[in-house]
Amino acid sequence: MTAARTVESEIIVIGAGIAGASVAAELAQQAKVSLLEMESQPGYHTTGRSAAIFVPSYGPPSIRALTRASAAAFLDPVSTLGVDRLLSPRPVLMMARGDQLESLDKLKEEVAANTPIQDLTASQVEDLNPLLRPGYAAAGILDVDSYDIDVDALHQAYLRKFKSNSGRLFTNARVEGIAKAAADWQVETSAGTHRAPIIINAAGAWVDDINTMAGLAAIGLVPKRRTMIVVDPPAGFDIASLPMTADVDEQFYIKPEAGQLVLSPADETPSPPCDAQPEELDIAIGIDRIEKAFNFPITRPKSSWAGLRSFVADGVPVVGFADPSNSFFILAGQGGYGIQTCPALARLAAALVTGKAIPPDIVDQGLVISELSPDRLNCPHKDPVRS
Ligand SMILES: Cc1cc2nc3c(=O)[nH]c(=O)nc-3n(C[C@H](O)[C@H](O)[C@H](O)COP(=O)(O)OP(=O)(O)OC[C@H]3O[C@@H](n4cnc5c(N)ncnc54)[C@H](O)[C@@H]3O)c2cc1C
């Protein structure tokens, strides 16, 4: 019997969701990259379960900066990713009841400088979404630069770009052991052994499991389950041009998708990393919140799904080397924004991994790179496991 061959690369990326696929695609142009994915289908976990929205006014300042720096790639995908179209217009209406006006004012103040938004009166809110109960909303804002994202097309485009630059994708390759062997990392998977001097940990909800496997400190990542519910639209009502409509305190949102309405209670229940499934209680809460705000009957959900949005304590992504020898890089904690920010995050991570200058269009958005570094989390450095 011959021993299984060890695959040698310059960079190993763990996880082929949107984070791993996009950074691997950026790096394959400059280095020999292997992309390891435990599932048979990249995108099976969080990437394939999102609400698929690009919203410039959403998230903390660093996310909004990364979203702005990602807009060009989404708006001109032919030159960046070789696909015709990734976005379709879908304005986002953030609305407030009378008791939520303070939250709306705070949001306006935060986003006004960088995001074109329209102020809305109660009657303008109702005109934009006639399904709302009359009198429910007291005011709102409209983010007119928001879009539906074709997430599958985006993910596949990055995987194609990766492979066309000789990147190698290994599916059904669950990483089970990581150790330092001389200058290289040796990575044992369910489908064979890989070696490379640099690892990028882009394992989504499993990032801390991978860190721990390598003998490095956990970053305190908390996966949080979010539930999505598909319901029939009211009979005879054309929903296609409705805005995505969200509660300003993120208690719920609803949007049209492929002729159905998709709604969410915007739940954030901490969960271990897993194949997340929707819970009956969250479905019931979601429907109840929507029925309080909207004036159409929901008989029973047509289908539902759940996914994990993963955050560290400050809600800002973690992008940078985690070990003193700059050989183990983390790309994690994208929360509920990992699709809309992936073009900028991938270019930023690729520049940091290769020691190149950060692309100026990212710096110009006012992003403070040190605020993304794992160093800010004060995780104690540990010595990697040695084989
Ligand atoms: C309900 C919901 C709505 C969302 N809506 C939006 C939205 O509208 N807009 C937006 O921008 N973002 C949204 N997000 C967030 C976005 O989906 C995530 O930020 C993004 O998908 C994270 O990508 P990822 O590659 O880090 O994770 P994942 O897609 O989970 O990829 C990680 C990969 O690592 C693999 N892996 C893990 N462990 C191992 C191992 N040991 N060996 C090998 N492989 C391993 C997994 O199999 C997985 O494929 C939403 C998320 C959810 C759940």
Residues 333, 59, 227: CA angle, nearest 5 degrees: 70
How far apart are the CA of 18 and the centre of ligand 1, in A? 7
DSSP annotation of 375? G
Amino acid of residue 105: D
Atom number of ligand 1 nearest to Cα 227? 1
Q: Ligand 1 within 6 A of 201 CB?
A: no
C-alpha closest to that of 297 among 228, 230, 246, 232: 232
User: Could you give all domains of the chain from N- to C-terminal order, each with its CATH number?
Assistant: 6-50+151-220+314-377 (3.50.50.60), 91-145+222-311 (3.30.9.10)
Residues of the chain with pLDDT under 70: 1-3, 380-387
* This prediction's pTM: 0.96
Distance CA 243, CA 93 (A): 6
- What is the whole-number distance in angstroms between the Cα of residue 205 and the centre of ligand 1? 7
Gap between the Cα atoms of 48 and 297, Å rounded: 29
Distance CA 12, CA 185 (A): 9
Residue 211 and residue 215: Cα distance in Å, rounded? Answer: 6
- Looking at residue 384, its pLDDT comes to 60
Specify the residue with its C-alpha closest to ligand 1, atom 25.
17
| Residue 81 one-letter amino acid | L
Q: Each residue of 261-273: b (16+ CB within 10 Å) or e?
A: bbbbbbbeeebeb
Note the pLDDT of residue 3. Answer: 57
Per-residue CA distances from 90 to 56, 68, 144 (Å): 12, 17, 8
d(CA 130, CA 122): 12
CA distance 158 to 16: 10
Q: Which atom of ligand 1 is nearest to 332's Cα?
A: 26
Q: How far is the CA of 377 from the centre of ligand 1 (A)?
A: 21
Cα(46) to ligand 1 centroid in Å equals 3
Q: Is 140 in the pocket of ligand 1 (CB under 6 A)?
A: no
DSSP, residue by residue, 51-102:
--EE-TT-SSHHHHHHHHHHHHHHH-HHHHHS-S--EEE--EEEEE-GGGHH
Q: Contact at 8 Å (CB) between 42 and 159?
A: yes
**Ligand 1 pocket member 382 (CB < 6 A):** no
Stated as kind and residue range, the H or E segment containing 212 is: helix 207-213
Show the tokens assigned to 17. Answer: 């969701």
Distance CA 374, CA 385 (A): 19
DSSP H stretches of helix in 214-368: 280-293, 342-354, 360-363
Q: How far is the C-alpha of 247 from the C-alpha of 266, rounded, in Å?
A: 10
